[in-house]
Amino acid sequence: MTSILTCKKLPLIITLIGPTASGKTDLAIALAQCLNLPILSIDSRQLYSEMEIGTTQPTISQRAKVQHELLGLRKPNDPINLQEFVKVASRTIQKEHERRGVAFLVGGSGLYVKALTNSISPPAVPPHTNLRDQLEYLGKQNCNELLHIADPTSANRIDSQDSLRTQRALEVIYTTGKPLSMQQGRNVISWRLLELGLDPGALRQRVQKRSISLYKKGLVEETRRLINRYGRDLPLLKTIGYGEICRWLFGEIDLKTALIITIHRTLQYAKRQRTWFYHQHEVLWLNEANPLEHALIAVEHVLE
């Protein structure tokens, strides 16, 4: 393979994307080891510490194999918006470009990946606590309806259960008077891009297996700790997995029902991810039989 160190073309960004539970973590580690690159995690929930199980962050043994960046940047009660993340992640990408000429991004958060790889500039709107309190009081359904009226483009790409991002989109609208979807400008792109993707056929079975595994590995205990430390109203405790466990802990549903809902929400999320990736990215979908070999051939071709 052509040496990354001697490649004199524009810096390269390699992304590995795909729906949740598609096997990105294992493939990313194998590919990173072959290329001698760290993994830059692009996941909207893995940005937070103390949520390792529910957000399926790489394990200690996996991190020992390959260096991982952009994990656990904030405490769960200290939200980071897209603009802030882009600033942090862009600096990390720049360091990798200066060091090796290649940055390797892995994740399923399509908007975050696109904001970085297409050099999108999110609107510079600081959080407004009072407005968010009012939106929280209105409730999730009312906020969803408001966003569909004010900015249907953003409403269609944000999970209806994702109160945090829904409130952020409304916050931008009320602060600037313009929809979030119309305020994402672009900077000059100074790199090449190779987008690799995983989309296995048996995704439903993979989602079911992983959801069961998360429950067995300690998602209940992790959720309890988060509730005890930050309270049930923590927005991140409304996300997939945590939301269902919260409902069980407070006696609203039984544990079997909680698991069924988690699987259902995860499958819905995976469907939205697929739609986003197929419409918003130019992805080389990897051969399911031997994705690592396929990925290495694609990287070698780009570096020639």
Q: What angle do CA 241, 210, 16 make, to 5 degrees?
A: 100
Q: Which residue has the higher pLDDT, 134 or 264?
A: 264
Phi/psi for 25 (5° steps) reads -60, -50
Summarize the confidence of residues 125-142 as an average pLDDT. Answer: 72
Taking the C-alpha atoms of residue 300 and residue 304, their distance in angstroms, rounded to an integer, is 6
- pTM for this model (two decimals): 0.78
Taking the C-alpha atoms of residue 196 and residue 35, their distance in angstroms, rounded to an integer, is 15
Return the percentage of the chain with pLDDT > 70, whole number.
Answer: 89
Measured between alpha carbons, how far apart are the two ends of the chain, in Å?
8
pLDDT bracket for residue 162 (50, 70, 90)? confident
- Quick: pLDDT tens for 67-99: 999 999 999 999 998 889 999 999 999 999 999
> What kind of architecture, by CATH, is found in domain 129-182?
Orthogonal Bundle (1.10)
DSSP labels, 35-73: HT--EEE--TTTTBTT-TTTTTPPPHHHHHHS-EES-S-
- Tokens 């931008």 locate to 172
Phi/psi for 114 (5° steps) reads -65, -40
Domain with CATH 3.40.50.300 in the chain: 10-122+185-303
Superfamily of domain 10-122+185-303, CATH level 4: P-loop containing nucleotide triphosphate hydrolases (3.40.50.300)
**Residues 6+ positions from 196 with CB-CB distance below 8 Å:** 14, 15, 16, 17, 283, 284, 286, 295, 298
Domain with CATH 1.10.20.140 in the chain: 129-182
Taking the C-alpha atoms of residue 85 and residue 79, their distance in angstroms, rounded to an integer, is 10
Summarize the confidence of residues 280-299 as an average pLDDT. Answer: 96
Largest CA distance in the chain: 61
Burial (CB count <10 Å: 0-12, 13-18, 19+), residue 98: exposed
Nearest to 157 by CA among 280, 11, 49: 280
Residue 4 has pLDDT above 60, yes or no: no
Taking the C-alpha atoms of residue 255 and residue 263, their distance in angstroms, rounded to an integer, is 12
Summarize the confidence of residues 234-263 as an average pLDDT. Answer: 97
Residue 165 has pLDDT above 50, yes or no: yes
pLDDT bracket for residue 302 (50, 70, 90)? very high
Give me the chain's average pLDDT, please. Answer: 89
Read off the tokens for 193: 């891009």
Signed CA dihedral, 227, 229, 231, 234: sign only: negative
